[in-house]
């Protein structure tokens, strides 16, 4: 049974509230369709993840990815099922999918969309949060007060060095004192 669920976007992450019953997420996959990213962090409340799958290669051919589970890295290929119970017998409540190439330009409006399949350890209602991990390194921009302090410090050092040179020049040019 193929079931696709769209998320509710809140503050850069995506939240899914799903009923998990036999044949729908319990030892079968629910498919989630996220926004553009180079990776995703998944977390669950109400049940734990038992399996994960990326059913198809990505549109531009990417087939190899990394899963981070309990600080351990695993290689995952499209179409390969990953069983979290091989890492933790009780399943896991969070994991990361990394290594989606920027060149894939993953977008839920693109055909075929990036779909991920999940199954869970317990029946009931599960809330899955899928937080997009986007590329780009943010360089901190110094606050204006930091820049001003740095400028003042450089000026003070310059003045001090100038005074010292002037003082040393004055000593070198002064007439010799009688002994």
**Residue 5 forms beta bridges with which residues?**
32
Helix segments in the chain, DSSP class H: 144-173
Domain positions in the chain are 4-133, 138-171
- Tens of pLDDT, residue by residue over 59-112, are 788 999 999 999 999 999 999 999 999 999 999 999 999 998 877 766 544 443
- Tens of pLDDT, residue by residue over 116-167, are 899 999 999 999 988 777 664 333 344 445 555 566 667 666 666 666 665 5
Question: Which residues, including other chains, have CB under 8 Å from residue 177's CB and lie 6 or more apart?
Answer: none
Mean pLDDT lowest among 3-12, 49-58, 104-113, 139-148: 139-148
CATH architecture of 4-133: Sandwich (2.60)
Higher pLDDT, 57 or 33: 57
């Amino acid at each position: 049974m193929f079931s696709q669920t769209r998320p509710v976007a809140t503050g850069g992450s995506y939240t899914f509230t799903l009923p998990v019953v036999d044949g729908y997420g319990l030892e079968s996959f629910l498919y989630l369709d996220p926004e553009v990213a180079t990776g995703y962090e998944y977390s669950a409340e109400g049940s734990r993840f038992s399996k994960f799958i990326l059913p198809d290669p990505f549109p531009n051919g990417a087939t190899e990815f990394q899963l981070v589970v309990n600080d351990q890295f695993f290689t995952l290929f499209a179409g390969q099922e990953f069983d979290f119970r091989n890492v933790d017998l009780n399943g896991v409540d969070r994991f990361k999918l990394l290594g989606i190439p920027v060149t894939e330009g993953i977008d839920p409006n693109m055909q075929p969309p990036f779909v991920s399949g999940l199954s869970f350890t317990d029946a009931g209602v599960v809330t899955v949060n899928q937080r997009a991990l986007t590329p780009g390194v943010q360089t901190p921009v110094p606050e204006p007060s930091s820049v001003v302090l740095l400028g003042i410090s450089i000026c003070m050092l310059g003045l001090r060095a100038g005074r010292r040179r002037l003082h040393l020049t004055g000593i070198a040019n002064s007439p010799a004192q009688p002994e």
